[in-house]
């Protein structure tokens, strides 16, 4: 008799948001894996309709407390395209500085408190801190540097309030930014040390045939603009995004699944994709550290995304320092513009991966349509397929251990269920003809 | 001569109904205490914010909202002594622990206050004295106004902290 069993993870831990995982096994064959995002939909796209476009950056920031900048920036870029607004180079540099702050705080948190515990069988960042107090303290201080930058430039660390269509409500004073320099000089070296530390972890031998997608820019590491490219040769303008990618409803998740329109295939977004597709655009220091720790490109091992995050933190500190040192106050901090009807789209890079926004606005400045595709929606199907490959390698009779290993893989993506709606519980079905087991 | 002790008062809250209580305590105290180098008053949106502010702090007062408890007191005071929470009223510590508005399930969005303080302890950042003021609330509806019940309790918390500060000062 073939034994079928179901493993359930009722709530994934150390991921942003709430969701579950349901695995159905038939003997040793994985019959089904469902990443169940059961949080109610948040309807941001719906309630943006009819709102003044000036409110969009502040409303979209509320989608996520960890990566609000990416939502704000994607929104303002798309709206500026719709309005025909061209920002100044000074505003553009400050926006990249804001991105640096977000990447530093988000990656710093994930590397040290969320993913690193998995490599030491620690149940939490607190348990890891008891064993590696210096490393965890360093990680927390790295995160602090990012938060301080967001406070100065964004008005506050969480849900910044200084971002406007056309620029910033207020440009920082020179002294305000210069005060950050010593902390960022420390941060650059600390990021190098942190990356060396995580690169020494014991990684599972697990590679997947991903199509990796990211923004790519000819002159800089991708944050706020560029073409959408892939490891399979895709290279399109952002305006073509919706011809190459489409979202689909699945019954088991309140978050949409985004797939390639050609072949309905999954794809992978995030720091691993960015580094694989843009390694030569990393700063010299990050590239040198990548070489030193033996980080190969392309890398298709999802667990090694933690190294890619480290390299991006190095890059973010390096680029931020350059901007901080050269900063001169400028005016206007916000380019003037007038309401007009139009449509615009933008793709930027949130810490967790590519994010796409499209808006239509009317002549009165009201939002007519809003479309937002967060990174986790794009990675969801890929995570399920990874688990189908991963489960036979780690599956044992102990469902709890199996569940823990599944969570470990999922966490390597740093999924933000709050963004895609929310996240995670695991269930594993192990059922004989007469026995149904559910934890 | 003893060095003056650095004190941080952090009100944790959000814009959601009685969850504003922590912020209100911070606002009350900011209005009563002149800004000086030794006492900092800050409003936090999530407990994890605290970790950014602990450098050099000797005494930490944290004010946060909690859900209703069966106890008669609506303002609860706990201190951290030798890695243990000591209660100072009739309410069980565990009762408050589960009712604090940020109980912490392990996700990075909701590191609870207790988890953040334990993390601070493990990374040797926890001040010598930590006092938690838990203000009971009735209604935590998104974007809701704070109830008069929680508003009064927040005022009581501010008075109590102010008195504590005077004792330290003396």
DSSP letter at A165 equals T
Q: Between the CA atoms of A301, A125, B114 and B61, what dihedral angle is there, to the nearest 10 degrees? A: -110
Instruction: Provide the 3-class DSSP secondary structure of residue B88.
Output: coil
The pLDDT-based confidence of A40 (bands split at 50, 70, 90) is low
The pLDDT-based confidence of B79 (bands split at 50, 70, 90) is confident
Indicate if the pLDDT at residue A437 is higher than 60: no
Predicted confidence at residue A3, as pLDDT, reads 67
Rounded to a whole number, what is the distance in Å from the CA of A81 to chain B's nearest CA? Answer: 32
Q: Which of A439, A355, A431, A374 is nearest to A78 (CA)?
A: A355
How far apart are alpha carbons A131 and A123 in whole angstroms? 12
**Residue predicted with more confidence, A361 or B13:** A361
Q: Does B103 touch chain A (CB under 8 A)?
A: no
- Tell me which residue in B105, B119, B125 faces A13 most closely, judged by beta carbons: B105
- Please tell me which residue of chain A has the smallest CA distance to B105: A13
Provide the pLDDT for residue B105.
43
* A64: confidence class by pLDDT, cuts 50, 70, 90: confident
Average pLDDT of chain B, as a whole number: 81
Chain CA centroid to CA A106, Å: 9
Q: Do residues A407 and A424 lie in contact, with contact meaning Cβ atoms separated by under 8 Å?
A: yes
Stretch among A64-73, A171-180, B78-87, B137-146 having the lowest mean pLDDT:
B78-87
Counting every residue written for chain B, the total comes to 170
A390/A411 Cα distance (integer angstroms)? 14
Tokens of A345: 């789209």
Q: Cβ contacts (< 8 Å) between A18 and chain B: which residues?
A: 105, 107
Residues of B whose CB is below 8 A from A59: none
At a CB cut-off of 8 Å and minimum separation 6, what does B47 contact?
Answer: B12, B64, B102, B104, B111, B112, B113, B115, B116
pLDDT band at B106 (very low <50, low <70, confident <90, very high): very low
Q: Does A130 touch chain B (CB under 8 A)?
A: yes
Go through A21-36 and write b for each residue having 16 or more CB atoms within 10 A of its CB, e for each that does not: bbbbbeeeebeebbbb
SS3 assignment, position A404: helix
pLDDT higher than threshold 80 for residue A405: yes
Asked whether the beta carbons of residue A66 and residue B108 sit closer than 8 angstroms, the reply is: yes
What is A40-373's CATH topology? Answer: Cytochrome-c3 Hydrogenase; chain B (1.10.645)
How far does A315 lie from chain B, in Å, by closest CA?
22
B33 interface with A at CB cutoff 8 Å: no
What's the gap in Å between the CA of B50 and the closest CA on chain A?
A: 10
Tell me the per-residue pLDDT of B25-34, one tens digit each, with 9 for 90 and over.
999 999 988 7
Is A76 or A64 the better-scoring residue by pLDDT?
Answer: A76
A-chain CB neighbours of B118 within 8 Å are 126
* B45 and chain A in contact, CB less than 8 A: yes
A-chain CB neighbours of B107 within 8 Å are 13-18, 423
pLDDT-based confidence at A402, cuts 50/70/90?
confident
**Cross-chain Cβ contact B124/A137 below 8 Å:** yes
Do A56 and A168 touch, CB atoms closer than 8 A? no
Report the percentage of chain A scoring pLDDT > 70: 91
Instruction: Give the Cβ contact number of residue A200 at 10 Å.
Output: 11
Contact yes or no for A351/A102 (Cβ under 8 A): yes
Tally of CA atoms within 13 A in the half-sphere of B94 that contains its CB: 0
CB–CB contact A14 B108 (8 Å): yes
Lowest mean pLDDT segment, chosen from A125-129, A280-284, A305-309, B75-79: B75-79
| Dist. CA B94–CA B116, nearest whole Å | 17
Residues in A 39-98 with any Cβ partner in B closer than 8 A? 65-66
Whole-number Å distance between alpha carbons of A175 and B137: 41
A16:B108 CB<8 A: yes
**Closest Cβ–Cβ partner in A133, A147, A158 for B122:** A133
What is the ipTM, given to two decimal places?
Answer: 0.71
CATH annotation of B7-169:
3.40.50.1450
Domain coordinates in residue numbering, chain B: 7-169
Residue (of A399, A408, A410) closest to A120 by Cα position: A408
Q: Using a CB–CB cutoff of 8 Å, tell me whether B125 touches chain A.
A: yes
> Average pLDDT over chain A, rounded to whole?
89
Cα dihedral across residues B39, B45, B51, B52: positive or negative: negative
Q: Which of A 318-347 lie inside 8 A of B, CB atoms? A: none
Write out chain B residues lying below 8 Å of A113, CB-based: 108, 111, 119
Q: Is A14 in CB contact (< 8 Å) with chain B?
A: yes
Which residues in chain A are closer than 8 Å to B106, comparing Cβ atoms?
13-14, 124
């Amino acid at each position: 008799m073939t034994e079928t069993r179901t493993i359930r993870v009722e709530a994934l831990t150390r991921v942003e948001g709430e969701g579950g995982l349901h695995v159905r096994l038939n003997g040793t064959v994985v019959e089904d894996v469902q990443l169940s995002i059961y949080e109610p939909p948040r309807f941001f796209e719906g309630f943006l309709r009819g709102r003044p476009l000036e409110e969009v950056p502040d409303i979209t920031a509320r989608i996520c407390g960890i990566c609000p900048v990416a939502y704000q920036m994607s929104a303002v870029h798309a709206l500026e395209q719709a309005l025909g607004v061209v920002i100044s180079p000074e505003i553009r540099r400050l926006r990249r500085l804001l991105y640096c702050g977000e990447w530093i705080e988000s990656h710093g948190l994930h590397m040290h408190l969320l993913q690193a515990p998995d490599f030491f069988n620690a149940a939490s960042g607190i348990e890891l801190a008891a064993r590696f107090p210096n490393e965890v303290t360093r990680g927390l201080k790295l995160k602090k540097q990012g938060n301080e930058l967001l406070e100065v430039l964004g008005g506050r660390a969480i849900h910044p309030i200084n971002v406007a269509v056309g620029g910033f409500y207020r440009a920082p004073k020179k002294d305000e930014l210069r005060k950050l320099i010593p902390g960022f000089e420390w941060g650059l070296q600390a990021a190098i040390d942190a990356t060396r530390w995580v690169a020494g972890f014991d990684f599972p031998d697990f590679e997947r045939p991903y199509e990796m997608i990211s923004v790519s820019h000819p002159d800089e590491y991708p944050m706020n603009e560029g073409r959408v490219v892939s490891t399979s040769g895709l290279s399109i303008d952002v305006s073509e995004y919706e011809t190459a990618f489409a979202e689909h409803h699945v019954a088991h998740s309140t978050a949409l699944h985004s797939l390639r329109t050609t072949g309905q295939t999954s794809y992978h977004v995030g720091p691993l994709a960015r580094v694989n597709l843009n390694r030569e655009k990393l700063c010299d220091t990050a590239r040198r550290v990548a070489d030193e720790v033996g980080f190969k490109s392309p890398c298709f091992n999802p667990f090694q995304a933690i190294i890619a995050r480290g390299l991006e933190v190095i890059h973010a500190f390096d680029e931020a320092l350059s901007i901080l040192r050269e900063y001169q106050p400028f005016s206007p901090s916000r380019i003037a513009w007038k309401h007009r009807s139009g449509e615009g789209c933008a793709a930027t890079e949130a810490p967790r991966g590519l994010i796409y926004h499209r808006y239509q606005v009317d002549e009165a400045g009201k939002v007519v349509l809003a479309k937002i595709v967060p990174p986790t929606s794009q990675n969801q199907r890929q995570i399920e397929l990874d688990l189908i490959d991963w489960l036979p390698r780690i599956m044992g009779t102990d469902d709890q251990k199996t569940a823990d290993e599944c969570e470990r893989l999922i966490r390597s993506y740093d999924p933000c269920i709050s963004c895609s709606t929310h996240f995670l519980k695991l269930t594993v079905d192990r059922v004989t003809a007469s026995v149904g087991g559910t934890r | 001569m003893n060095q003056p002790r650095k004190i941080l008062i952090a009100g944790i809250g959000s814009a959601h109904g009685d969850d504003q209580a922590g912020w209100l305590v911070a606002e009350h105290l900011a209005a009563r205490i002149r800004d000086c180098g030794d006492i900092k008053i800050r409003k936090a949106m999530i407990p994890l914010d605290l970790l950014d502010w602990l450098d050099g702090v000797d005494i930490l007062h944290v004010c946060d909202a909690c859900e209703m408890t069966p106890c008669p007191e609506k303002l609860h005071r706990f201190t951290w002594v030798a890695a243990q929470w000591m209660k100072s009223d009739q309410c069980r510590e565990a009762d408050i622990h589960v009712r604090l508005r940020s109980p912490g399930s392990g996700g990075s969005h909701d590191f609870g206050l207790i988890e953040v303080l334990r993390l601070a302890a493990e990374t040797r950042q926890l001040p010598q004295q930590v006092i938690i003021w838990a203000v009971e609330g009735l209604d935590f509806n998104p974007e809701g106004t704070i109830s008069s019940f929680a508003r009064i309790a927040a005022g009581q918390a501010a008075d109590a902290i102010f008195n504590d500060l005077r004792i330290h000062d003396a």
